[in-house]
Amino acid sequence: DTGVSQNPRHKITKRGQNVTFRCDPISEHNRLYWYRQTLGQGPEFLTYFQNEAQLEKSRLLSDRFSAERPKGSFSTLEIQRTEQGDSAMYLCASSLGTSGGAQFFGPGTRLTVL
């Protein structure tokens, strides 16, 4: 069990640029989640996948954000035309089975938009 991995761990970008993050879940886990955490706050849900299907998106996920999980394995989160307010820690989690299963988190990608 190698755990959830995320890349890159840190990303510094200029306002207006596009960025893409990757998450590799625990191999047998069919559910994958993205959360965002800003300084001093708890993580907030962005979206989740069951296998390759994106089943729920938060209102926090504006039109500039898009997430994919093309083969039901790894996932990518892209932010287009970044804004300073996008600066945050982006966390990925995975779980096995149906609703209510324990979620396991990756180390996160810390995004700084200058």
Partner 1 sequence: GIQVEQSPPDLILQEGANSTLRCNFSDSVNNLQWFHQNPWGQLINLFYIPSGTKQNGRLSATTVATERYSLLYISSSQTTDSGVYFCAVERLGAQKLVFGQGTRLTINP
Q: Which H or E run contains 91?
A: strand 88-95
The answer to whether the CB of 28 falls within 8 A of the CB of 95 is no
Q: Which of 52, 31, 34 is nearest to 111 (CA)?
A: 34
Nearest CB to partner 1, comparing residues 8 and 81: 8
- Only one of the segments 14-22, 65-73, 79-87, 88-96 lies at the binding site for partner 1 (rule: CB under 8 A); that segment is 88-96
Question: How many residues of this chain bind partner 1 (CB under 8 A)?
Answer: 27
Q: Residue 56 corresponds to which tokens in the numbers above?
A: 């729920």
Q: How far is the CB of 73 from partner 1 (least distance, A)?
A: 19
Task: Draw the binding track, 34-63, toward partner 1 (x: CB under 8 A; -: no contact).
Answer: -x-x---xxxxx--x------xx-x-----
